[in-house]
Structure 1
Amino acid sequence: MKLYYSPGACSLASHIVLEEAGVAYSAEKVNLREKQTESGADYLAITPRGAVPALALDGGEVLTEGVAIMQYVMDSAKPGALPAAGTLGRARLQEALNYVATEVHKTYSPLFRGLEGAAKEAQLALLDARLKVIEDRLADGRAFLTGAAFTPADAYLFTVTNWSRPMGHDLSRFPRIEALRARIAERPSVQAAMKAEGLLK
């Protein structure tokens, strides 16, 4: 398998999960502006969407969308590591993944486009409201987003909340999320993926 990624982008979550699964894989950096891989390949020929992550499978197919990639990797490499399909546990995992994807990730996205003034303040207020839902969910003392076990949803939340600091967004209002981030950051899989992407020395 080969992961196509951009350092620190949402593809970091898939990178973390590949490390967590202990699966053999390679990774290639993508210049998203030029739509070219580090080896000089046309990235649009790999995935017409031109976005990361993309996972080239050994059989020649390419899987896109981080939520799909992360579940596929864990299900195929470590069967039973995630809750089984059809269980409430799996539904809770998909609930968390979809919330991070559609409510948190997509609320950060406009901030990359240089919002200023009132528009930026409104977007940050919306982001705070989305994060408060997670902060409140963690009030029951759970160790991770869906309970006692680390899942791809935690990798995804960690990845997107990494964007707060460079955007001038203060996460200190969410102490439970900050504590969760600290637990996630300690995982060897997270450190390995971040080092591979040049995000840690």
Structure 2
Amino acid sequence: MFTPLMANKSNKLIKYHDNDVIIYMVENEGQILSFLELGSTTCGNYWVRHCATAETNLRQGLSHSLYLLAMADVYPMALAPSRECTSAHAIPLWQKLYLNEQVIKSPVTNETTYCTEFDEWFDEILEVNPLQTEEYISSLECNFSLFSAVKSGLINPHPYNTLYRLDVNHEVNIIASSNGRYKSLCGSLFDERYEQLDL
């Protein structure tokens, strides 16, 4: 599960923590290979703010493994995508996590959090409820809000309206740091990759 992170023996896993921001990163000889930046949510969990991998390290599974590591590390708290910040390149990753049977998934059922952070879109509801018709979903809206329908179990939530948890012992050595240099290096990598990230 976490093997790609330590595929190179000189890789180091760093966890930078500053107030409500946590950054998990893979560092090798002073270079950041990949990082995942989290922010705290109003419901006490974490949402993904940024994630980027150096172009020379693409297709090695670093981002996916960092998501899983972060989930395991913050458990019992959860990770959640951000509708406003989820880029096109990250959508397949969330879909992969949604289908991962080891990952514990639960819909957001706190109304304030749901309405401000996870409000459903009609086409997304249809996408994850393939056995339901547009007419059925529309009829639900006459009697329920989509939030109430999700909470009542009448329809499945979209992956973006889901909290992701991973209850495993990661047994990976993570070096804690408050050195601002790491945040700066991750910012530089994000800026470098910005044009390719389809934000």
Q: TM-score, normalised by structure 2?
A: 0.29
Q: TM-score, normalised by structure 1?
A: 0.29
More helix by share: 1
- Which structure carries more strand by proportion? 2
Tell which has more relative contact order, 1 or 2 (C-alpha 8 A, sep 6+): 2
Structure with higher Rg: it is 2
